[in-house]
Amino acid sequence: MLLLPRYRPATWLISALLASLVLALLAPDSARADPLETPPRPRPFVADYALEISGWPDARVSHRLSRHGDWWESEMRAAIRLASGHERSRFRLDDGGPSASAYSSGYRLLGIGGSYRLGHDELRELPDRQAALFELSRRAANGDCRATPPCRIRFVDHKGREERLDYRPLAPIARRLPDGESIQATRLEAWEPDKPERRLVFAFHPELPGLLLGVEYHRDGEPTNRLTLQALTLTE
């Protein structure tokens, strides 16, 4: 995720909102979308999001998923008046999910910044945050975790330290794409095990793994930050 020092919720949201935070009771079965037998096939895309952060100027987040032979690359960039950040992951899809091989990220805030890299050795056991976000969207589309919630996804942060995120499915909800098409978004509620008062509610595209339709960050039951899809282009 993009790294804004000492402001963890913004960090999590800006980078696609998967883990540094990067992220209701279950609805009855009749309200859920039917689970798919296999995860949907990924497709390259370019997306733009609007990010509203309490106490910060609104930001624009760009997100690109591209294919390079057998490898996929997920990249996010964000900028506001005083800060900017980026995050990139390279991974391939195996039967067990994404297998990451390279990760890089960096930030600048008030002229001060930093950069981080992880290689194959650091990513041998667990994926990075971008690859984990991609996998989380596939699990949502596949109807994962409905039998015995909550479930857990494990990954490493920008320094290679293990992170954990618990999650549970929520009922699908109608969302309108930038071109006007209405779809049923798959949704998950996620939280760090030691910070249950901080919740992320993800809305994913059911047929485009990795694409966020929206994310809301709640603290003590109150929504404070929000990310919303503004533009989408399929590049293949």
Residues above pLDDT 90, as percent of the chain: 58
Structural domain includes residue 2: no
Contacts of 194 by beta carbon, 8 Å cutoff, 6+ apart: none
User: Which band of pLDDT confidence, cut at 50, 70 and 90, is reported for residue 236?
Assistant: confident
Domain annotation covers residue 79:
yes
Determine the pLDDT at residue 112. Answer: 84
39 with 136: CB under 8 angstroms? no
- The answer to whether the CB of 198 falls within 8 A of the CB of 213 is no
Tokens 């966020």 locate to: 212
Domain-embedded: residue 131: yes
- Asked if residue 1 is part of any domain, the answer here is no
Give the domain extent around 230.
Answer: 8-234
Q: What angle do CA 154, 155, 157 make, to 5 degrees?
A: 140
Q: Looking at residue 3, what DSSP letter applies?
A: -
The DSSP bridge pattern shows strands 112-118 and 59-68 to be unpaired
| Position 160 pLDDT exceeds 90 | yes
Angle, CA 223 vertex, CA 47 and CA 172 arms, to 5°: 60
The arithmetic mean of pLDDT across residues 66-95, rounded, is 90
**Distance (Å) of CA 187 to CA 143, 169, 205:** 10, 6, 9
**Dihedral of the alpha carbons of 107, 123, 189, 51, in degrees to the nearest 10:** 20
Residue 15, pLDDT score: 40
What CATH number is attached to the domain comprising 129? 2.50.20
Q: In the prediction, which pLDDT does 224 show?
A: 82
* pLDDT attached to residue 41: 86
C-alpha to C-alpha distance for 2 and 124, rounded to whole angstroms: 22
Amino acid present at 197: E
Q: What confidence score (pLDDT) does residue 152 get?
A: 92
pLDDT at 83 > cutoff 90 = no
Would residue 104 count as lying in a domain? yes
Find out whether 127 and 97 touch, Cβ atoms under 8 Å: yes
**Within 13 A of 184's CA, how many CA atoms are on the CB side?**
10
Residues 21-59: pLDDT tens digits?
233 222 222 223 334 456 678 999 999 999 887 777 788
Q: What is the pLDDT of residues 109-157, one digit of tens each?
A: 888 888 999 999 999 999 999 999 999 999 998 887 888 889 999 999 9
How many independent structural domains does the chain possess? 1
The CA distance from 35 to 53, in Å, is 33
| Amino acid type, 1 | M
3 in a domain, yes or no? no
Q: Say which residues have a Cβ less than 8 Å from residue 125's Cβ, sequence separation at least 6.
A: none
In 3-state terms, what secondary structure has residue 90? strand
The pLDDT tens digits of the residues spanning 163-174 come to 999 999 999 999
**Burial environment of residue 55 by CB neighbours within 10 A (0 to 12, 13 to 18, 19 or more):** exposed
In a domain, 47, yes or no: yes
* Residue 7, φ and ψ in degrees, nearest 5: -135, 75
Q: Give pLDDT, residue 8.
A: 43
Kindly state whether residue 12 falls inside one of the protein's structural domains: yes
- The candidate with the shortest Cα–Cα distance to 14, out of 6, 3, 28, 26, is 3
